[in-house]
Structure 1
Amino acid sequence: MALHEALATEQDSGAAGRQAPTALRVVHDTAGVDLAAAEDAARHFLKALGVLSDDENMRDTPGRMARAYAELFSPRDFALTTFPNDEGYDELVLARAIPFRSVCQHHLLPFVGTAHVGYLPGPRILGLSKLARTVEYFACRPQVQERLTKQIADWLQEQLDPKGVGVVIEAEHTCMTLRGVQAAGSSTVTSTLLGLLRHDPRSRAEFLALSGVNA
């Protein structure tokens, strides 16, 4: 899966010299997606496991499987809109309990959970909904939770140049709860802290406390 990014900067015509919001357009590339081939592969996959798909109840299952996985791997396009931090706001900005779903790259089984994403602003601030969009952007692909956590933090650090970034993810993995050890109810917590949220003890403790994680 590929994603394309394009940067667009505009000038506010109503105020000389005042910069309008900057938007980084993030677009999902659907080239290479072949639903017909995926449906045919799903049909052979089910047959190889002894699951016949030729009766009325199962006839359309291979197609549904193909469309379902295509949806799981397709984040919505969005614009990462940022604004000048004209007021010099320097306190923590935190979006808690962002719901997400992803797919374990080892078994292609879903894992679902919540992400807590925060940053200490630098020269620019981010539209709040874009924190949730960023989580979705990286979650909609075969993933491992550790990489997902770091990718979100690293990308926000790169795009915003903030004083610090923090990401905590709590998730339940069906590859662990429905198969193998079958540890129903278990959850996994991962975190990535950058900048002041990693190196300053008070900033770190504030982020983890507001995220609901014991420091």
Structure 2
Amino acid sequence: MSLEKLTQNYHDILSNLGEDPDRGGLKDTPKRAAKAMQFLCRGYDQSLEEIVNGALFESDNDEMVIVKDIELYSLCEHHMLPFIGKAHVAYIPTGKVIGLSKVARIVDMFARRLQIQENLTRQIAEALQSVTEARGVAVVIEAKHMCMMMRGVEKQNSSMYSSVMLGAFRESVNTRQEFLQLITRGQ
């Protein structure tokens, strides 16, 4: 959607809320809000191929690789309110490893779309699996949802945890347990 159309939509939203979108404090708000929404949803304009950009490297490592505490910011697809948290991502390589920053970029690409946390978790896991052809992939996301904190039940201290385990992480209790212990270490 174009910036102009989004700007008009935000202008209309302000009017429909009973505000004067042309008053001093709101004069440029529709355009700022439109630009912010484009930024917050930029994951729609990204592809896995672009994100990875060939950053796969030969490696003899066949031990678990974990990237922990990747901060994420997303918008709930039901209320378009933020949810904020962190992702813990692991994989067991089979001949190739992915560039470290690419794991965080994959998280961001999917987080920067309208989402529910359960789908976000699965999308990250399946994307990493498809790119690395790993023996297993695990993703755990913990997040706070503004749709639950600011409205509805208004539970400020609630957090949601979601996990997806593929391959060796699903098949082996020991592998899954090692991952879970490593991501909770130091908390």
Same structural fold, with TM-score higher than 0.5 when normalized by the shorter chain: yes
In 1, the alpha carbon distance for the partners of 2:123 and 2:103 equals: 13
Q: TM-score, normalised by structure 2?
A: 0.92
Give yes or no for the alignment of 1:37 onto 2:5. Answer: yes
- The answer on whether the counterparts of 2:62 and 2:95 sit within 8 Å (CA) in structure 1 is no
1:120-199 alignment runs, 5 A limit: 120-199=92-171
- The answer on whether the counterparts of 2:65 and 2:90 sit within 8 Å (CA) in structure 1 is yes
In 1, the alpha carbon distance for the partners of 2:128 and 2:5 equals: 36
Give the corresponding residue for 1:73.
41
Higher relative contact order (Cα pairs below 8 Å, separated by 6+ residues): 2
More strand by share: 1
Give the corresponding residue for 1:97.
69
- The answer on whether the counterparts of 2:61 and 2:95 sit within 8 Å (CA) in structure 1 is no
More helix by share: 2
Give yes or no for the alignment of 1:51 onto 2:25. Answer: no
Aligned residue identity for 1:132: A
* Aligned Cα root-mean-square deviation (Å): 1.3
In 2, the alpha carbon distance for the partners of 1:201 and 1:90 equals: 18
Give the corresponding residue for 2:56.
82
- The answer on whether the counterparts of 1:149 and 1:190 sit within 8 Å (CA) in structure 2 is yes
- The answer on whether the counterparts of 1:80 and 1:130 sit within 8 Å (CA) in structure 2 is no
- The answer on whether the counterparts of 2:70 and 2:86 sit within 8 Å (CA) in structure 1 is yes
Go from structure 1 to structure 2 and tell me whether the alpha carbon gap of 1:99 and 1:80 turns closer, same or farther (over 3 Å shift). farther
Question: Could you say what secondary structure the match of 2:34 adopts?
Answer: helix
Give the corresponding residue for 1:14.
none
In 1, the alpha carbon distance for the partners of 2:139 and 2:78 equals: 23
Aligned residue identity for 2:78: H
Structure with higher Rg: it is: 1
In 2, the alpha carbon distance for the partners of 1:61 and 1:163 equals: 48
In 2, the alpha carbon distance for the partners of 1:139 and 1:92 equals: 24
Q: Which runs of 5+ in 2 are unaligned?
A: none
The ranges of structure 1 where at least 4 consecutive aligned residues each deviate by more than 6 angstroms after the TM superposition are: none
- The answer on whether the counterparts of 1:171 and 1:189 sit within 8 Å (CA) in structure 2 is yes
Question: Could you say what secondary structure the match of 1:169 adopts?
Answer: strand
In 2, the alpha carbon distance for the partners of 1:201 and 1:37 equals: 51
Residues 139-177 of structure 1, C-alpha deviations (whole Å, 9 max, x = no match) = 111000000000000111111111110000000110110
In 2, the alpha carbon distance for the partners of 1:90 and 1:210 equals: 17
